[in-house]
């Protein structure tokens, strides 16, 4: 049985049993923004390459 997460726009996204890696390869990291469609939180890439510090939250 699958679990689903309710997104801000009312859609649902399937929750997997284990985590996956999402990888972006780019020569221009500061142009990227990621958004959590469940919570609405947005993050901007800051140009660092250390895992866990690559994105800064964008305050609303």
Domain boundaries, the chain: 21-60
Record the tokens describing residue 42, joined without a space: 């947005």
Record the tokens describing residue 40, joined without a space: 């609405």
Over its length of 60 residues, how does the chain's per-residue pLDDT go in tens digits?
Answer: 789 999 999 999 999 999 999 999 999 999 999 999 999 999 999 999 998 999 999 986
Record the tokens describing residue 7, joined without a space: 């997104």
* Sheet (strand 42-45) strand order: 33-35, 42-45, 55-58
What pLDDT, on a 0 to 100 scale, did the predictor assign at position 60?
Answer: 65
User: Looking at the whole model, is its pTM more than 0.85?
Assistant: no
DSSP secondary structure letter of residue 50 = S
What is the phi/psi pair of residue 20, to 5°?
-125, 160
């Amino acid at each position: 049985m699958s679990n689903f997460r309710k997104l801000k726009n009312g859609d649902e996204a399937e929750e997997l049993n284990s985590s996956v890696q999402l990888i972006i390869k780019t020569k221009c990291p500061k142009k990227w923004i990621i958004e959590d469609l469940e919570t609405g939180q947005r993050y901007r890439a800051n140009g660092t390459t250390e895992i866990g510090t690559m994105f800064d939250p964008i305050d609303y």
